[in-house]
A and B are shown apart, each in its own frame.
Chain A
Amino acid sequence: MITYNAGNYDVVVIGGGHAGCEAALASARMGCKTLLVTLSMENIALMPCNPSIGGPAKSQLVREIDALGGEMAKNIDKSHIQMRMINTGKGPAVQALRAQADKYEYYREMLKTLLSQENLDVKMAEVERIETVNKRVTGIVTRTGAKFGCKAIVITSGTYLKGRIIIGDLAFDGGPNGQFPAVKLSDSLRDLGLALGRFKTGTPPRIDRKSVDFSKMIEQPGDERPLRFSYISPRVKRPQLSCWLTHSNKRTHQIVMDNLDRSPLFTGLIKGRGPRYCPSFEDKVVRFSDKKSHQIFIEPEGRSTDEMYVQGMNTSLPEDVQLKVLRSIPGLENVRMIRTGYAIEYDYVIPSQLKPTLETKEIENLFTAGQINGTSGYEEAAGQGLIAGINAALKVKEKEPLILKRSEAYIGVMIDDLVTGDIDEPYRLLTSRAEYRLILRQDNADLRLTEIGRKIGLVNDYRWRIFCEKKEILEKEIERLKETTFTPADEEMAEFLTGKDTAPLRDRVSLWEILKRPEIKIKDLVEEGLVDDNDLDILEQLEIQSKYEGYIKKQEEQIKKFEKMENRAIPEDIDYSEVFGLSNEAVQKLNEIRPVSIGQASRISGVNPADINVLLIFLEKKRRK
């Protein structure tokens, strides 16, 4: 192939999925001339698996992306068909918003945003090669011979790398959703010296709405109140479409058991490691054989389609068995399958080869983000894409990189887990991975991160104004609530408290303290005229910050301790084999991971507290020289 010079960019993003869109938009918005290269214009922001965004940990993540000036929250606000707040009874830290998306609308909205973005060009092409000089990227070459020069590259190629689809005993090379796999890019990465691993994931069949009997299912409607992910989306309620719940039964499970000899999971055809949190249906039946039934959710894939997603039925059984399994389920007796479920194996870049900026340690200015880093989930991909895009742009502009701490954001938890740990299954964020869950709430992502977003140049004036106003009102209200006090002699207050079935005052007490009582809600105070009828977000903040003050303070104390170790930086050029007293395993792990701080070093498996002590002494001695 004869190549031609097709132009120069600051940043090239390879892949137009959830990571790629965020990376490209962030880079362009930060003023870098950016190119997004995608295999197919029809697959921008594609949701090849479940049609939903949000849920525990993920909803926090989406709001963090929003606060930093990312796109995902705004895009799902524009294109959802249902929104629900889940975990509402379990506390503010784990309460989570979840949206069902219209996959097609989600794609169209994102495409519109990309194409109208200043500084951003979108091109359809397959990238075959990354070009480097002295271990530093210089450009890319496409299959059709176009050669683009650039200063930084973000690869967000998802599950396309050497993708292989498996259905029963059928296996063929392919990307998700009937797309072509990216074969040569995988080899190009290997040539650059990156170590690749292989994971497996899967997706359930899709069925035709017209063939489903909903009368045998339980309806799952959206919430009544208008909900939104983005702090700046308008508060409007879009027309809601319901999801439906049905259950598998003994007969279903029998069909699975009878056909295990045809399941690639059990015949050994599938070798990649699958995620435990997203097992195939056949796996669930085998591992939890005492369970008589499993939940199956039937979810619309959009307003303009009759295709529905069979949540819970992720499978790689042969097509005929899939159909038999489906038809044993109440409401699906006559179901017609539109797309067959499949398992997909793909290459991923072992993420311990990355810096916390998501730049590869091996090749300067080469960043990777999303499923290529061994994660799963649209939200996880978008979060990494945003950070990779930001850091690529910062690197081009020769500015300090952005690294979020575990105590600042779920994004920080995720990236730290990726670059520090040994992941042995596709990585998904869980709230239980976060040490400071009570601080990393979805309701305060803007308070945590907007200022950071503004500093790096992703928060526009409109968002900034809204944020500043909110913050100002909030601070004033908190102060006022703390200063407004009542005594047992205040008759109106006494009457109000009696009416709410809570004990009368004994001493002078502030409104802030009164709000802490479980019986008193913020809306009661608003109704009583004690608190201004402010924006819902502000009222929510007042309530959470007052009621959970004790627990929040506990966690803030823990964070102070944690950050002492995080802030103790380790110089990049340290050679661990020269540090006397480290165990051999520690030397090897530390040389491989190259942690940026003592805190990160202490989280590496195989590095024990004694090693950390030795390392601290070494660094301190070095510092004092």
Chain B
Amino acid sequence: MLFNDDIAAIATPPGEGGIAIIRLSGSSVIEKVSRIFKPYNPEVDIKNKPGYTMTLGWILDDKGEYIDEVLVSIMRAPKSYTGEDVVEINCHGGILPARKCLEEVLNHGIRLAEPGEFTRRAFLNGRMDMSQVEAVIEIIRAKSEKSMKLALKQLKGEKKEDFNRLEDILTSINAAIEASIDFPDEVDEPDYAGLEENIKIVLDEVNKFIEAARRGEVYREGIKIVISGKPNVGKSSLLNLLLRKDKAIVTDIPGTTRDIVEDYLNINGIPVKIMDTAGIRETDDIVERIGVEKSGQAIKEADLVIFLLDVASGITEEDIRIYQGLNKEKVIVLVNKEDLAEKNISEEEIKKLFGGVRVIRGSVKEKTGLDELISAITEMVLEGKTDYDGEELIFNLRQQKALEKAREHLISVLDSLGQVPLDCTAVDVRGALEALGEITGKNIKEEIINRIFQDFCIGK
């Protein structure tokens, strides 16, 4: 724990809300945020803004792409919650963009705050009076203990056994390496083939945990689906069908939906925010043009896009132009209006244009293909895993990062195995084990040493 470096965390509770706030504190957070923040007004620079001001703009990723449109509030030391310079990023898109923004922030030399750290700084900087001290320490204490225990408590039954088993395998591997290093006369070098096999087993398990964590996140935090397609292809009708109510204005005149219409629904237990975008087309209508711009942004942020085609009108140049703007990995193509007699989209065309993409034929009007669409959505967001067993793991961001660190080390072991000597391999095996130890709170070193003496006949 440090007291003067820059920290950040999502300050709003998890779950879907209108906004999410990332709070940052530290002496150079304003400067660091300014590196990834692009204000609407190019003349504005948050570095020069006084305290208690807000600026509208975008958070950008390292490629300069927009992550989210945000409001940035600046509070300058000592007039802030912590007494240090504080920035609050108001992400208007809910928790998922907030997480992406947070990750971007963490890539810029700002670290994830520990539980209770903002409060702690506030206390240290004299922002609280002494009578509050004891209460604050109790809170900090409770928070740091809770964050350690939380995930493990949530692990139950088989999952917990799985976790223990992989930690056990890794401890054995590490003990075998260490024993051969520390007791070369008594213990042979570990068998590399077996070692590789075991590391792969562990990596597999770690990947499963990471996937499960991500799936858990899907259930907890929900996903965004955007309905896209040329005007009058049936986007609003699909939205209405899914919501079973008339929210969007449905007419036969192209371009009726001028802004994004959004609502929430629940698909197989997953909270979904679904958005009907304005028909994307070249237009002079200023109102519609803003809608088109906004829908481009929505598509970027979406976890999934349902792209609609009109079987009667065939695949037009406009369809192709819109489709090309989509991320192919996140698209489901729905060929609509199959109820009509006129069919101008052949299987060959579909294969040629949408190879590898999920294509569903149906009719929004006749409600055909709807079940198929729902299961396709579920499968895609759960990455092919439909065997949802109700025990999805909920790891917090810190624990998820620990799992990812473990994975990184395991991959490094596999990449370098046999090419580097054992002492280097040991660095990554130990690294993986330590990363898991951050989740379980075990004393890795003692475990390994105990295992050496338990498994190997040592002693001359």
By a beta-carbon cutoff of 8 Å, the part of chain A in contact with chain B is 50, 56-57, 86-87, 89-94, 276-279, 284, 287-288, 291, 294-295, 297, 311-312, 314, 430-433, 435, 437-438, 518, 548, 551, 554-555, 564, 580-581, 605, 608-610, 612-614, 616-617, 620-621, 624
Contacts and interface: CB of A to CB of B under 8 A. Distances in A.
B41 interface: no
Nearest to A612: B1
Contact of B189 (A86, A90, A288, A551): A90
Interface string B226-258: 000000000000000000000000000000000
B449 A433 contact: yes
B457 A277 contact: no
Interface stretch (B157-165, B310-318, B416-424): B416-424
A287 B459 CA distance: 12
Which bracket fits the contact residues of B? 35 or more
Contacts of B126: 624
Contact of A581 (B114, B137, B449, B452): B137
Interface string B140-166: 110011001000000000000000000
A288 B141 CA distance: 46
Contacts of B178: 430-432
Nearest to B186: A295
A539 to B, nearest CB: 18
B148 A609 contact: yes
Nearest to A297: B460
Q: 6 closest pairs, A vs B, by CB? A: A91-B421, A91-B423, A93-B423, A581-B137, A432-B178, A90-B422
B182 A92 contact: no
Nearest to A433: B445
Contacts of A614: 137, 140-141
A57 B181 CA distance: 10
Given A431-B181, A614-B137, A555 B186 contact: no
Contact of A432 (B114, B144, B181, B421): B181
Contact of A87 (B1, B123, B181): B181
Contacts of A50: 460
B145 to A, nearest CB: 5
Interface in B1-31: 1-3
Contacts of B458: 276-277, 279
A375 to B, nearest CB: 15
B141 A613 contact: yes
B144 A609 contact: yes
A438 B181 contact: no
Contact of A277 (B114, B123, B453): B453
Contacts of A284: 457, 459
Contacts of B350: none
B427 interface: yes
Interface of B: 1-3, 114, 116, 120, 123-124, 126, 133-134, 137-138, 140-141, 144-145, 148, 178, 180-186, 189, 419-424, 426-427, 443, 445, 448-449, 452-453, 457-460
Given A608-B145, A613-B1, A616-B1, A90 B421 contact: yes
A92 B423 contact: yes
A107 to B, nearest CB: 22
A294 B457 contact: yes
5 contacts: A89-B421, A555-B427, A610-B140, A613-B120, A614-B140
A617 B137 contact: yes
A202 B145 CA distance: 44
A554 B427 contact: yes
A90 B459 contact: no
Contacts of B453: 276-277
A78 B460 CA distance: 25
B173 to A, nearest CB: 13
Nearest to A621: B124
Contacts of B148: 609
A543 B355 CA distance: 52
Nearest to A437: B423
Given A432-B452, A438-B427, A617-B123, A56 B182 contact: yes
Nearest to B120: A617
A90 B424 CA distance: 9
Given A89-B421, A90-B180, A90-B422, A287 B449 contact: no
Given A294-B457, A295-B460, A554-B427, A94 B422 contact: yes
Contact of A90 (B133, B185, B186, B423): B423
B137 A94 contact: no
A610 B427 contact: no
A56 B422 CA distance: 14
B459 to A, nearest CB: 5
Contacts of A90: 180-181, 184, 189, 421-423
B140 A617 contact: yes
Output the residue of A86, A91, A431 with the most chain B CB within 10 A: A91
B149 to A, nearest CB: 11
Nearest to A96: B184
Nearest to A280: B459
B253 to A, nearest CB: 61
A430 B182 contact: yes
B9 to A, nearest CB: 16
Contacts of A93: 423-424
A432 B182 contact: yes
Contacts of A277: 183, 453, 458-459
Output the residue of A276, A438, A610 with the most chain B CB within 10 A: A610
Nearest to A518: B419
A613 B2 CA distance: 10
Contacts of A291: 457
Given A297-B460, A438-B424, A56 B184 contact: yes
Contact of B422 (A91, A276, A311, A613): A91
A287 B455 CA distance: 10
B131 to A, nearest CB: 13
Output the residue of B1, B3, B126, B144 with the most chain A CB within 10 A: B1
Contacts of A621: 123-124
A279 B144 CA distance: 42
Nearest to B458: A277
A617 B124 contact: yes
A616 B124 CA distance: 11
Contacts of B443: 605
Contacts of B423: 90-94, 437-438
A433 B126 CA distance: 41
Contacts of B181: 56, 87, 90, 94, 431-432
A297 B186 CA distance: 11
A205 to B, nearest CB: 14
A621 B3 CA distance: 11
A192 B250 CA distance: 94
Output the residue of A279, A548, A564, A617 with the most chain B CB within 10 A: A617
Contacts of A581: 134, 137-138, 140-141
